Structure 1
């Protein structure tokens, strides 16, 4: 954790005001988000780490109001006193309200939406379909809740979030999104988006072992590695071809045989039961 000397005056005043007013509640530690430490602190008139961080101000954390009662709106207009963050919060508010028309107004025509649960980024035509499926899957009681918002330079915003059902946290729904916005007149619109969603699978150290094996294969077969890295979705097509050429020819006959096998078993059991009934009738 960063030392208290790394905390900027601007950050201290903002957090102090938010906590004093109790109108905004940060859901992260107040020293979590700071500028990255350079290899050497540059020389300038106001020496010191705090002065350097204040001068660079790479990322600026903002607090977001959380609902306290069921049915209360998750976001309030101008809650962050920042047009860039307000545009992003309006984006999530539109998702919670299932307002697809408003969502379209917040997304630029050349927007590229990269959800890492998909192999390829979504373009404008597929983005609306994606959000239509998302809002449909959320139902009436699921909402996005913002945990933290950070503004960067050049209209960049980072958001941490999770999903809640009736204000109850849903496991495995934490996520982090990065947005790059552009101006259309006085209006801010989302131009690029990259979404990271928490995986329900928790491989832990196994992930490092798998990475070690993959890298060793890359080192042994560099040409195959280059072709794979240029087209990573080709591995999926390769598995499909392997299934079609090798597995399907073996599985399909087996399934046919398995189905016929139980048909014959059923007939045999019926025949045996009928014979037993006839024998019992002779003695009764």
Structure 2
């Protein structure tokens, strides 16, 4: 386990996937939450027990336990799941609540805390690599999450929106047309064109499994172009997206869902 101070938050811990599984066991969770996975190189049950016991002794940091306790808890959470070219998986989960265990202190007053957990791609699509646990102020949660997405420039196609019915009724000849000059042409070009990555960010509630969605957005990394944020309701909208664009959209969704405490103070 490696621990580093986080420049934009409270602290970061960098764990093996087995250490992460043991961490969750330490706080009473009987499995690793979606979308993460863990693996071990132990060859026997006895070896695995020894590895888990050694990991358990390393994982006594109260700050880390406080952050991990938010995963699977009653507060709202965010998951980001996707795939890049080469079948490299994106696995991120974030949560926030008022923690009952203060960081770096033995005193009990509660205060706002968020955690963002990011798992590196593993050697195969079914296995994950190193797990990074970031404890941050709630107002930094979406920024920390979107900064952990695979880096892509924003797409170059003009922001466009069209009714869902128009997308559904589009003739198949549109699927491989050029990006065109209408909103419908541009939206379909992004949705159905070649891509090098895509994924979904979900805001919701849930235990260890996939979230019961309150809101969500998708991203598409168009091949040779860049990243777009997709929001689909009765209207399908695509927007060239940076990490900041996606964080701002998530903040709006979270505020509308009433999932964060209101910001106090007066604005000029």
Confirm or deny a common fold (TM above 0.5): no
Which of 1 and 2 has greater Rg? Answer: 1
Q: TM-score, normalised by structure 1?
A: 0.27
